[in-house]
A and B are shown apart, each in its own frame.
Chain A
Amino acid sequence: MPKKTPKKRSEAEEKPNFVVSDHVLVPKHEVCTEAEKKEVFDQYKVQPHQLPRITASDPAIRHLGVKVGDVIRITRKSDTAGEAVFYRIVSSE
């Protein structure tokens, strides 16, 4: 019996009662398709390791079911450009 209590607690903590993507600080995150991915690499003339990174366990993309190597398109609200697109590559840690 005493073992059950901490388990229950951690489950409740894993499921927060708020939606991360609804928060004002969190911009829109989308996973790029393979074609879009290639487009990004061509457009900026970069290698995958040169992109800024985001961890696979990041709360903002955890629910998207991403794998390492995916490119995430982030549409930020910007003070200067109104809307700015940014790319991050999913890394393991």
Chain B
Amino acid sequence: MANAYAEYETKLPKSIMEEVKQHAAGATDAKLKKILAAVYIEYQRALVDPGEAVGNVAAESIGEPGTQMTLDTFHFAGVSEMNVTMGLPRLIEVLDARKTIGTAMMEVYLLPPYNAGQDIKKIAEKIKETSFREYILEFHIDVLEANMTIKLDKTKMDMVDATPDKLIKVLLKGLKGFEFTAIGTDTIVAKSAAKDEQLKDIYHLKEKIKDVYVNGVKGIKMVLPVKRGEEFLIVTAGTNLKKILAIEGVDTTRTTTNNIYEVEELLGIEAARQSIINEMNKVLDNQGIDIDVRHIMLASDTMSMSGHMLGISRYGIVKEKPSVLARASFETPLKHIFNAAITGEEDHLNSVIENVMLNQPVPLGTGLPRIVVRHFPKKVVKKAKAEVEA
């Protein structure tokens, strides 16, 4: 029984093998062989023919349902909620392999016991980039003394185990020319170290001090603990995969970001390829559009071909094309033709578009195979030679 399977193990994909195994569980050895042979023929028949214009098919298959998508970013009026880039703008962003994306987000998975909800707020608070403004309850500026009393938010401080002394250390790092003294557990007094115009400095300080970075992961603007299924995870606005993965308690096997470049840099080109597929699927699912994953895989494979992520744009994969005419036919034709003329570039007319331009058969489908014809059969040549000699 196992022998019959072994023969086709390398010939058929795993998913088809499993399907056969499931459906033909009770079959005898001889029957199984027949089944597998029939499946193999059917599989061969289903394969794409050499020379098929798969790129065109993919472009049409993604493009047509794409017209049904939301054309603009959603704005949630009034609520201080995030404006999430979705629909067509997001799709374009992914396919262009943009470095800066509209809504950078991360899904931070946690290891047990944190994923059951334990201390989730504390972890979320630790991850979030915090500036000093969030610790301030109120300012009080004493004009006569030329100092400023800052009342601190005690509950906020307890969340990250901060004390006025710790905060002062951070403030001294971020601001030059001021002296800070802690009073009690929730007050800091600031005084300018300059000799004159101390009051002016203090007023400046009042604004500057708000933006001093205190703790958390740089780039993480917002955190939102959510429950998905049975476990808790943290969704963030802003990304910094590298720093997040270094935090204890974070599940380093599942935490992801929607910034493809960060994925490429940290996890490699293959991970970035998968990430593009995931991101596109996310958009398409969201919009209720059904596109065969093969088309998306093709786009993603093409983008990752060179070992780096290249967008489907004139700066990305189009730039990599060897043909001058193919590049010129996409965007900015004059630029490409001028440059090619200056450097004396050659075009070997190996691809489709340049042959269309020159009114020649394209290497696609039946145009791909070439037939080499020997004008005179060997016999004829021999005969002619003999005649000449005679």
Contact = CB atoms under 8 A, between A and B. Distances in A.
Contact of A60 (B17, B245, B252, B267): B267
Contacts of A55: 269, 307-308
A32 interface: no
A73 to B, nearest CB: 12
Contacts of A53: 305-307
A22 B254 CA distance: 9
A50 B242 CA distance: 33
Contact of A24 (B242, B254, B268, B301): B254
Contacts of B253: 18, 22-24
Interface stretch (B86-94, B270-278, B336-344, B376-384): B270-278
Given A18-B253, A22-B253, 11 more contacts: A18-B246, A23-B253, A23-B254, A23-B267, A54-B268, A76-B270, A81-B16, A82-B13, A83-B13, A84-B13, A93-B307
A18 to B, nearest CB: 3
Contact of B293 (A16, A60, A79): A79
The A interface, classified by DSSP as helix, strand, loop or mixed, is loop
A83 to B, nearest CB: 4
Contacts of A83: 13-15
A59 B278 CA distance: 20
Given A80-B294, A82-B18, A52 B304 contact: yes
Interface in B109-163: none
B133 to A, nearest CB: 27
Interface in A38-70: 52-55, 58-61
A89 to B, nearest CB: 9
A88 B308 CA distance: 12
Contacts of A74: 270
B222 to A, nearest CB: 24
A29 B293 contact: no
A25 interface: yes
Q: Output the residue of A26, A53, A74, A78 with the most chain B CB within 10 A.
A: A26
B299 interface: no
Interface in B303-331: 304-308
Nearest to B274: A25
B240 interface: no
A25 B13 contact: no
B256 interface: yes
B306 A59 contact: no
B307 A27 contact: no
Interface of A: 13, 16-20, 22-27, 29, 52-55, 58-61, 74, 76, 78-84, 88, 91, 93
A82 B14 CA distance: 5
B263 interface: yes
A29 B270 contact: yes
B266 interface: yes
Of A23, A27, A83, most buried by chain B (CB within 10 Å of CB) is: A23
A27 B271 CA distance: 7
B15 A25 contact: no
23 contacts: A16-B242, A17-B246, A18-B245, A20-B266, A20-B267, A22-B253, A23-B253, A23-B267, A24-B254, A25-B267, A29-B270, A54-B269, A55-B269, A60-B269, A60-B270, A76-B274, A78-B15, A80-B13, A80-B293, A81-B13, A82-B16, A83-B13, A84-B13
Nearest to B248: A17
Contacts of A58: 268-269, 307
A27 B275 CA distance: 12
A78 B274 CA distance: 10
B271 A23 contact: yes
Contacts of A27: 270, 274
A58 B336 CA distance: 31
A52 B246 contact: no
Contacts of A17: 245-246, 252
A61 B305 CA distance: 16
Contacts of B308: 55
Contacts of A52: 301, 304-307
B252 A18 contact: yes
A87 to B, nearest CB: 12
